[in-house]
């Protein structure tokens, strides 16, 4: 039966007629009386021609005795010593944490692609703050993944997300000081982003969109020397009880922010545009571009400024008390006016030439007409009910003085937004109101319509292209919604000028990354699984990636980290964003 063997694998070929197939532990059960016993033996499987069999090499003993004596553990431990991997007792496993890794990895990848890691590393080195790039990265990523206060950031970084290797874990004070640095290098950071985006996305600045919003503050409403820009003004957040600042945002036609500006809270919208355009031309050296802005930013002085910089424009006129708007509407109503459909805007448009030779485009939308008509009817009904109540009060003798009656009427008509639709007659002890038919007719002509004036000739932009260019302002409005709702820009609880400006800048840089991710997902044609006719949004993509977790398990004194398996959608998002996942498919033991 002896044979000369060669090889050291589990299946050993021999020169004789016996082949040793492998060695294993065999369990034999025997019954003695009413008890059953299990015995372990070390056995080799052999093949003799066509026949197979087992040959016992060593009888280890009865299982219970081996276990109780500790011999079984010693045998297993001795064998495990020769393994390349370690076995653990399932009962000894305990989960320690499950931190989000997918969304953070995506944000960090884009952060590096935009060159912000190197940019803030240089800024930190110049300020003697080596932890600065880590602090800014954490603040920007937090806005995108799970917005929280700066005070809670150290806890969030430590317990809820996986930061990149080498992350310095700043303290709360270092986060606050980092805001000062971010505010101080705003212009340099925007220049870095502009250069990176131009390289990565073929940034097109032939069309730039500008709009403003406001954000309010908690805390003391009193003026402060440390925060001179804090002031009361027109609040787009409907918080007239809180001081605020005004934010101007300049975006490309597809909604990527390229610059932002912070103004005092009582700044009129119309006064912000000249300085923004001056800065745009000086810092970015742009050539001939087309500026798109809404009616609240338009004045003749601003039009002159735009023209003076050599820029073209597409500007919306005011709808009321604007002779340009009235003239354009009248000409579009002439029998020879040519209306063309603009399917991309769900509208129709009419190109007209104004008496001074300027070009105007009148736009009409059935959807907007319905919305305007319903809204006007609601306001008229609400205002008329108040006027009827005032009329009854005067008739009953509750109000006699003409001055007091006039002030009461003004309190009703002033904030109504439609005071122009009513005429009133006031004398001592007498109050009457009636509709202004001319104003109502003009309001009906405006329903569903708006007027654009542009310096672009028909050869430079068709009627439909002018309308489409104006509608790109929706991209700026979308960024404002992202800033306020997705990234929780407000309320702001910082109380110094520089900290507030730093906080706003952090949110804007997060909005740049959000826009870049959104554009990348569109380029990759990634669709929302719940809305197949729409591309996946950045917010939905990051929510999906936030479910990719790094689970840490305590195993027999060792810490084992595993990344959860990615579903197909998560895998496609990570691929589109060029996120490296090469180390995610293996456990890490420390």
- Pairing label, strands 13-14, 35-48: unpaired
Q: How does residue 3 score in pLDDT terms, banded at 50, 70 and 90? A: very low
pTM (predicted TM-score): 0.79
In degrees and rounded to multiples of 5, residue 291 shows phi and psi of -95, 130
Does residue 13 register a pLDDT over 70? Answer: no
How many CB atoms within 10 Å of residue 445? 14
Q: How does residue 294 score in pLDDT terms, banded at 50, 70 and 90? A: confident
Strands (E), 412-556: 422-427, 430-435, 449-454, 527-528, 531-535, 549-555
> Please, are residues 489 and 260 in contact by the beta-carbon 8 Å criterion?
no
d(CA 117, CA 120): 6
Sheet holding 549-555, edge to edge: 93-100, 549-555, 558-563, 588-589
Q: In this predicted structure, what is the pLDDT of residue 18?
A: 54
- Of 551, 561, 351, nearest in space to 454 by CA: 351
d(CA 122, CA 112): 14
Mean predicted lDDT score pLDDT of the chain: 89
Q: In this predicted structure, what is the pLDDT of residue 54?
A: 86
Length of the chain: 590
Does residue 17 register a pLDDT over 80? Answer: no
Q: How does residue 98 score in pLDDT terms, banded at 50, 70 and 90? A: very high
Q: How does residue 565 score in pLDDT terms, banded at 50, 70 and 90? A: very high
Share of the chain above pLDDT 70, in %: 95
Q: How does residue 491 score in pLDDT terms, banded at 50, 70 and 90? A: confident
d(CA 416, CA 413): 5
Does residue 543 register a pLDDT over 90? Answer: yes
Q: In this predicted structure, what is the pLDDT of residue 586?
A: 85
CATH code for 187-365+448-495?
3.90.350.10
Q: Which residues contact 310 (CB under 8 A, 6 or more apart)?
A: 288
Q: In this predicted structure, what is the pLDDT of residue 255?
A: 86
| 156 alpha carbon, distance to own chain's centre | 19
Does residue 557 register a pLDDT over 90? Answer: no
> Please, are residues 292 and 436 in contact by the beta-carbon 8 Å criterion?
no
Q: In this predicted structure, what is the pLDDT of residue 15?
A: 40
Q: How does residue 16 score in pLDDT terms, banded at 50, 70 and 90? A: very low
Q: Would residue 11 be called left, alpha or beta, if left means φ above 0 and alpha means ψ between -120 and 50 degrees?
A: beta
How is 108-175 classified by DSSP, letter by letter? HHHHHHTTHHHHHHHHHHHHT-TTHHHHHHHHHHHHHHS---GGGHHHHHHHTB-PPTT-----HHHH
Q: What is the torsional sign of CA 369, 375, 379, 385? A: positive
Q: In this predicted structure, what is the pLDDT of residue 46?
A: 85
Lowest-confidence segment of 7-16, 78-87, 291-300, 350-359 by average pLDDT: 7-16
Does residue 277 register a pLDDT over 80? Answer: yes
Lowest-confidence segment of 16-25, 205-214, 434-443, 515-524 by average pLDDT: 16-25
d(CA 256, CA 510): 11
Q: Judging by beta carbons within 10 Å of its beta carbon (0-12, 13-18, 19+), is residue 193 exposed, middle or buried?
A: buried
Q: In this predicted structure, what is the pLDDT of residue 206?
A: 81
Share of the chain above pLDDT 90, in %: 63
Say what the alpha-carbon torsion angle 497, 499, 500, 503 is, to the nearest 10 degrees: 160
Q: Which residues contact 151 (CB under 8 A, 6 or more apart)?
A: 172
- Of 85, 79, 73, nearest in space to 560 by CA: 85
Work out the average pLDDT over 240-254: 91
């Amino acid at each position: 039966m002896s044979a000369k063997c060669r090889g050291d694998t589990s299946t050993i070929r021999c020169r004789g007629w016996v082949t040793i197939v492998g060695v294993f532990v065999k369990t034999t059960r025997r019954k003695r009386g009413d008890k059953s016993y299990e015995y372990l033996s070390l056995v080799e499987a052999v093949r003799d021609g066509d026949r197979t069999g087992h040959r016992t090499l060593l009888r280890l003993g009865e299982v219970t005795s081996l276990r109780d004596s500790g011999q079984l553990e010693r045998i297993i431990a001795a064998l495990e010593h020769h393994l390349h991997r370690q076995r653990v007792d399932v009962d000894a496993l305990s989960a320690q944490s499950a931190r989000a890794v997918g969304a953070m990895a995506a944000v960090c990848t884009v952060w590096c692609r935009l060159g912000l890691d190197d940019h803030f590393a240089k800024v930190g080195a110049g300020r003697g703050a080596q932890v600065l790039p880590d602090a800014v990265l954490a603040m920007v990523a937090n806005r995108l993944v799970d917005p929280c206060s700066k005070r809670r950031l150290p806890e969030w970084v430590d317990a809820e997300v996986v930061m990149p290797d080498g992350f310095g874990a700043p303290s709360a004070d270092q986060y606050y000081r980092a805001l000062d640095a971010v505010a101080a290098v705003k212009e340099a950071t925007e220049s870095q982003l502009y250069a990176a985006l131009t390289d990565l996305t073929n940034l097109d600045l032939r069309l730039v969109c500008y709009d403003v919003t406001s954000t309010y503050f908690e805390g003391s409403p009193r003026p402060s020397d440390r925060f001179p820009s804090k002031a009361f003004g027109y609040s787009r957040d409907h918080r007239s009880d809180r001081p605020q600042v005004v934010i101007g945002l300049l975006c490309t036609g597809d909604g990527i922010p390229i610059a932002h500006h912070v103004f005092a809270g009582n700044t009129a919208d119309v006064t912000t545009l000249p300085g923004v355009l001056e800065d745009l031309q000086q810092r970015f050296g742009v050539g001939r571009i087309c500026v798109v802005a809404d009616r609240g930013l338009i004045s003749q002085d601003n039009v002159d400024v735009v023209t003076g910089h050599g820029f073209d424009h597409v500007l919306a006129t005011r709808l009321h008390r604007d002779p340009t708007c009235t003239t354009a509407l009248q000409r579009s109503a002439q029998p020879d006016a040519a209306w063309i459909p603009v399917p991309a805007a769900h509208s129709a448009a009419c190109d007209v030439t104004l008496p001074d030779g300027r070009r105007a485009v009148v736009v009409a939308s059935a959807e907007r007409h319905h919305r305007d008509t319903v809204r006007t009817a609601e306001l008229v009904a609400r205002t008329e009910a108040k006027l009827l109540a005032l009329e009854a009060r005067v008739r009953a003798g509750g109000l006699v003085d003409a001055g007091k009656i006039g002030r009461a009427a003004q309190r009703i008509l002033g904030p109504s937004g439609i005071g122009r639709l009513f005429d009133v007659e006031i004398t001592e002890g007498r109050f009457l109101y009636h509709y202004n038919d001319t104003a109502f007719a003009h309001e009906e002509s405006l329903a569903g319509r708006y007027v654009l004036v542009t310096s672009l000739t028909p050869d430079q932009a068709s009627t439909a292209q002018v309308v489409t260019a104006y509608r790109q302002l929706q991209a700026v409005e979308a960024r404002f919604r992202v800033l306020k709702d997705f990234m929780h820009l407000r309320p702001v609880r910082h109380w110094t000028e520089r900290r507030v400006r730093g906080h706003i800048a952090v949110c804007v840089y997060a909005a740049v990354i959000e826009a870049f991710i959104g554009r990348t997902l569109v380029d990759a044609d990634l669709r929302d699984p719940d809305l197949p006719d729409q591309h996946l949004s950045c917010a939905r993509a990051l929510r999906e990636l936030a479910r990719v977790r790094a689970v840490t398990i305590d195993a027999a004194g060792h810490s084992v980290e595993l990344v959860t398996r990615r579903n197909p959608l998560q895998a496609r998002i990570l691929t589109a964003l060029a996120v490296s996942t090469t180390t995610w498919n293996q456990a890490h033991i420390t």
